[in-house]
Amino acid sequence: IKKTLLSHGSDDTSEIVVTFVNLAQKAKRDGFLALQNDLKNIKNDFLRRGVQLVVDGADHEFIRNMLETEIGFIRERHKGGAEILNALGTYSPAFGIIGTVLGMIMMLSSIDDVSAVPRRMALALSAAFYGLGSGYLIFLPMGGKLRARSEEELLVKEIIIRGVLLLQSGATPSVVEANLKAYLPPAARLIVKAPPPAAAPGAPGAPAA
């Protein structure tokens, strides 16, 4: 949860689409085992684990169950964190008001000491200030940020699961690209530029051995 809150956003979905197109091209040309060499260049841990399952020859349902189980745990963990932050944001103002009421009672109990009234009044009002401030300026915004970042992270992982399953099924690079672009907003689809398919060895335009 802390990592999600402090992160600067999820991985670039456009780059993930291009990565899958590259992997699909290589798998079509050289087979799944050739992807082993690309694993060390994949920075996203979830994506790397998915591709590793493909390289290891795991079947479609096994891969889906493994990756979706991980997403389920992440979703529940983030949901619990957001609920805690929302509860703190909801109850903090109430505790602040309670502190103010108690401060006012203390102030009235020493009303004979006029010199102490301003100080006790300030303490009473500061309780309300800190309660309202922490609730509406800290906890509730943090809960909203966690929900937004969680949705972004889960979308990225949904794209990765789809890409891994397409890769495992032997889909062509163009099919992989078309399927994964459907997850992107229109503006992001325009900036996805998949590399041209590499020429097979011995074909016209292929590099000489």
Section 187-199 average pLDDT: 62
Residue 202 resides in a domain = no
Residue 195 resides in a domain = no
Q: CA dist 107 to 43, 101, 120, 152, Å? A: 60, 10, 5, 50
Written as six digits, the tokens of 37 are 């060499």
Query: What one-letter code names the amino acid at 131?
Result: G
Q: CA-to-CA distance for 93 and 108, rounded, in angstroms?
A: 22
Residue 193 resides in a domain = no
pLDDT at 198: 53
pLDDT at 207: 45
| Residue span of the structural domain in which 81 resides | 2-187
pLDDT value at 7 more than 80:
no
Does this model's pTM top 0.85? My answer is no
Residue 208 resides in a domain = no
Q: pLDDT band for position 11 (50/70/90)?
A: low
C-beta of residue 153 within 8 angstroms of C-beta of residue 82: no
Could you tell me which residue, 205 or 3, shows the higher pLDDT? 3
The contacts of residue 87 (CB under 8 Å, 6+ apart) are none
Residue 203 resides in a domain = no
Please tell me the least confidently modeled range out of 66-75, 106-115, 149-158, 180-189: 106-115
pLDDT at 53: 95
The per-residue pLDDT of the chain, averaged, comes to: 85
Could you tell me which residue, 6 or 129, shows the higher pLDDT? 129
Please tell me the least confidently modeled range out of 4-13, 62-71, 161-170, 176-185: 4-13
User: How many distinct structural domains can be found in the chain?
Assistant: 1
Could you tell me which residue, 168 or 204, shows the higher pLDDT? 168
Section 101-129 average pLDDT: 82
Among 159, 124, 205, CA closest to 15: 159
Residue 120 resides in a domain = yes
C-beta of residue 17 within 8 angstroms of C-beta of residue 181: yes
Please tell me the least confidently modeled range out of 82-91, 153-162, 180-189: 180-189
Residue 9 resides in a domain = yes
Q: CA-to-CA distance for 79 and 63, rounded, in angstroms?
A: 24
Q: CA dist 67 to 35, 48, 60, 75, 132, Å? A: 19, 11, 11, 12, 41
C-beta of residue 57 within 8 angstroms of C-beta of residue 70: no
Q: pLDDT tens digit string along 133-169?
A: 999 899 999 999 888 888 889 999 999 999 999 999 9
Section 107-116 average pLDDT: 77
Residue 67 resides in a domain = yes
